[in-house]
Chain A
Amino acid sequence: MRWLKPVAVPLIAVGLALGIGAIILALSGANPIEAYSALIDGSLSSQKTIGRTLEKATPLIMGGLAVAFAFRAGLFNIGGQGQLVIGGIFAAAVGFGFEGLPWIIHAPLALAVGALAGAAWGSIAGVLKATRGAHEVITTIMLNFVALNLTDWLASNPWKDEGILSRTPAVEESAVIPQWGALPTGFLVAVAASIGCWYLLERTTLGFEIRSVGLNGDAARYAGISVKRIVVATMAISGFLAGAGGAIETQGVIGRYEPGFNAGLGFNGITIALLARNNPIGVIPAALLIGAMEAGGSMMQFNADVSPEITDIIEALMLLFVATPIVVRWFFSRQDVAEVSITSGWGSS
């Protein structure tokens, strides 16, 4: 049962959240079984709904990776949303701005530019931290507002489509990230990114440096690691992942950049990273779970007459239980509690 330990807390958190969700459903007058079967119906019942779940999960994986990756260096990147919209609009600009490129060049190019734009945006917070000591939580939150307003302006002025709507023109056919049957190619890109992040963290010297800085910055400096360089690099990579998420959304789902269509995607990354306990591979199942709930939420509304916000409540409960593992541990094994409460001193630092 050893393998179960690392996944026990998320699994139990999900179970508890679904259980309490059922109680809330019952209290609100709905039939929980009907509601949950509609949820599954809308997310996992057919090729089409599974495809929709994968599509929903894709930006969640990228946003979750962005948060989880930064966290491994001890950085809390709240700026996923900003990096994602920047990536989305730059991918759109390359997507509609070039004509006549072959697909094999155009789609990857737009994706790369979107990701690099996200990286540039993320590294601003990294540079501010490395040179001025500005805390990344504050700067990334502020940069989110800057990014949202900047993309709104770009979409309603220089890069505006014809017509009354503030949005960019549709990307060229050659820049679209296609579907393989029900399987969105973007999902494969996201899975590859997860594996790439795992490899980078666990197998490369850069990953060792990032983890060392995250675990003990003083010792990392002693060991000759430039902490400033790692802070900037980590924020850039984190922004790269979020930016790529925005680009995939633009090229694979929406087909253009349209303000508001990405709302909240970047913030969901924090939920995903928490559920995955900052493990890049764990991000995939976490994102699939939330993706399935989002995909199935509307079916739940139609079939069981339950408002889709119930899925938000269940997500929030999952987050709550993951963030307070002590509650879950109490369920998991009451016997271990005495041992996990090993006292650590107030004055020990």
Chain B
Amino acid sequence: MSVAAPPALEVLGVTKRFGDVLANEDVDFRVERGRVHALLGENGAGKSTLVNIIFGLYRADSGEVRRNGEVVHLNGPRDAIDSRIGMVHQHFQLVPVLTVAENVVLGNEPTRRGVVDLDEAASVVRALAERFGLEIDPWARVEDLPIGLQQRVEILRALFREVDILILDEPTAVLTPQETTHLLGVLRGLADTGVAVVFITHKLREVMAVADDITVMRRGKVVGSAVPAETDEASLASMMVGRSVELSLERTPASPGDKVLTIVDLVVNDDRRSQSLNGINLDVRAGEVVGVAGVEGNGQRELVEAITGLRGVVSGSITLEGVEIAGMSPRQISTMGVSHIPEDREKFGLIGAHTVADNMVLNRYHQPPYSRHGIRSPGAVEDNAERLVAEFDVRPSNIGAMVATLSGGNKQKVVAAREFSHEAKVMVAAQPTRGIDIGNIEFIHRRLIEYRDAGMAILLVSAELDEVLGLADRVAVIYGGQIVAIESADGIDRDRVGRLMLSGTDN
């Protein structure tokens, strides 16, 4: 490659404004052929806006996009695809009831005598899959595939259109560690065939592992670029956040008090009415974090929902300071002092079309001072929101904004602010940092420890083993609806916990 060759993609001086928010400000960004380019930044930094402009979904207010040195005007995904730019969205754009082959060729179907030639499609898909190490059964229906394979279909679909720039928006957010490792290998392989890969993420480890070039964005601007050989995770993190961050949390040992939450022989059914918790015994003391480690789907969700009243209990007991709460309504349990950060904040924790202020009182709206005699008091709701937005550093700080317009990390801060503000006795935190960026993860972890030190009993349920081991004072391993081990987190053997999570035994 000669030095003078123009880059595969060049973005010059792009600015994009949404209402009062400057999502991209004078952004310059260049991507070279045959390299993996990591676009790094916190949620809300403007990464998605930038790639949506590149993909033609948004139109920049000013600035230009160049392909191989020539200015292009992209008025939609069609134009982007025509100029050989492909994108794998965070939310897949697949037709669930169609097969892999059908999804891949959709829009450019091979035909024979006017009829879609599915055999031809399947063999094309198979050839592509082989070439790039993306093995998949072309005849499988997409809805039957696990997430990792669905993502593979998305990538194949882009490759089928012979893209030479492939953009992936947070591709590893939905993957297991093994799938992530494989994907990173695939991206490397793609780059080696000459494709320019743009890879959006906020996971530093992945960036260090696979990227050739790194561009860091913060608050709509490009704040720096680097190559992995000349940087490290800590300096990337501080570039992202704009200050130095501690990647591991320092905390003092817990000084646990009395048992606050006690669960005895709890049996709960799942949605299909088959037993999913088979006699759980667990207690949480004031001033300690009990972490529940386990592979997802081993009863964690049912445990959390049973404690918070969202799911009925078949037998057993759940007591809060000696009072039986099993069978009470979610509102009664919440009022008695159990706060809950739900694992799916979009579905359960927030109402997207309500304002930030209304979401801040989502389960206290009916109580004074937020309402009196059935009439709401907007002033009190707003005062509460102003206070919490400032305390939890929610951005943007406009309490009248619809929550749906916030980034994932800021949505989670709204949920956390609300739940911590209840001054509850027990906090049930399910996946409290899922899908949010480093700065906010650090923030929420710090809060959990602060409230622990103030005497709150915290039950932490997380699929991230590092999170459990980093925060918990005691670790409970859940497997097949039972607690198979519970022990102090001090000096715990990480490999042994891993084996317990996978098989329920440590040998």
Q: Which residues from chain A sit less than 8 Å from chain B, CB to CB?
A: 203-208, 211-212, 215-216, 218-226, 338-339, 341-348
Contacts and interface: CB of A to CB of B under 8 A. Distances in A.
A196 to B, nearest CB: 13
Given A219-B349, A222-B340, A343 B375 contact: no
B287 to A, nearest CB: 26
Given A226-B329, A338-B75, A219 B94 contact: no
B296 to A, nearest CB: 18
Contact of A208 (B57, B142, B358): B358
B96 A212 contact: no
Main secondary structure on A side of the interface with B: helix
Given A219-B351, A224-B334, A347 B91 contact: yes
B363 interface: yes
Contacts of A222: 308, 310, 330, 340, 342, 348-349, 362-363
Nearest to B147: A347
A339 B376 CA distance: 35
A223 B358 CA distance: 12
A230 B329 CA distance: 15
B443 interface: no
26 contacts: A203-B375, A203-B376, A204-B375, A205-B365, A205-B375, A207-B376, A211-B354, A212-B362, A215-B354, A216-B350, A216-B351, A218-B347, A220-B351, A222-B342, A222-B362, A222-B363, A224-B334, A224-B335, A338-B58, A338-B59, A342-B57, A345-B91, A345-B93, A346-B95, A347-B91, A348-B91
A338 B76 contact: yes
Contacts of A225: 331
Nearest to A206: B374
Contact of A345 (B89, B310, B349): B89
A347 to B, nearest CB: 4
Size category of the B interface is 35 or more
A229 B320 CA distance: 27
A225 to B, nearest CB: 8
A221 B310 contact: yes
Contacts of B358: 208
Given A204-B374, A347-B150, A221 B91 contact: no
Contacts of A342: 57
Contacts, number: 98
Interface string B349-362: 11111100010001
Main secondary structure on B side of the interface with A: loop
A49 B350 CA distance: 50
Given A205-B371, A345-B92, A219 B365 contact: no
B94 A346 contact: yes
Contacts of B150: 347
A219 B330 CA distance: 11
A345 B157 CA distance: 15
Contacts of B335: 224
Interface in B41-79: 56-59, 75-77
A253 B358 CA distance: 43
Nearest to A342: B57
Contacts of B142: 347
B93 A223 contact: no
A223 B57 contact: no
A344 B58 contact: no
A221 B312 CA distance: 14
Given A204-B375, A223-B362, A345-B89, A339 B347 contact: no
Nearest to B56: A338
B59 A208 contact: no
A339 B19 CA distance: 13
**Chain B CB within 10 A, most for which of A220, A341, A344, A346:** A346
A212 B366 CA distance: 13
B72 to A, nearest CB: 15
Given A205-B371, A339-B59, A346 B349 contact: no
Contact of A205 (B76, B95, B342, B376): B376
A221 B330 contact: yes
A205 B352 CA distance: 18
Contact of B96 (A206, A208, A346): A346
Interface string B309-340: 01000000000000000000111001100001
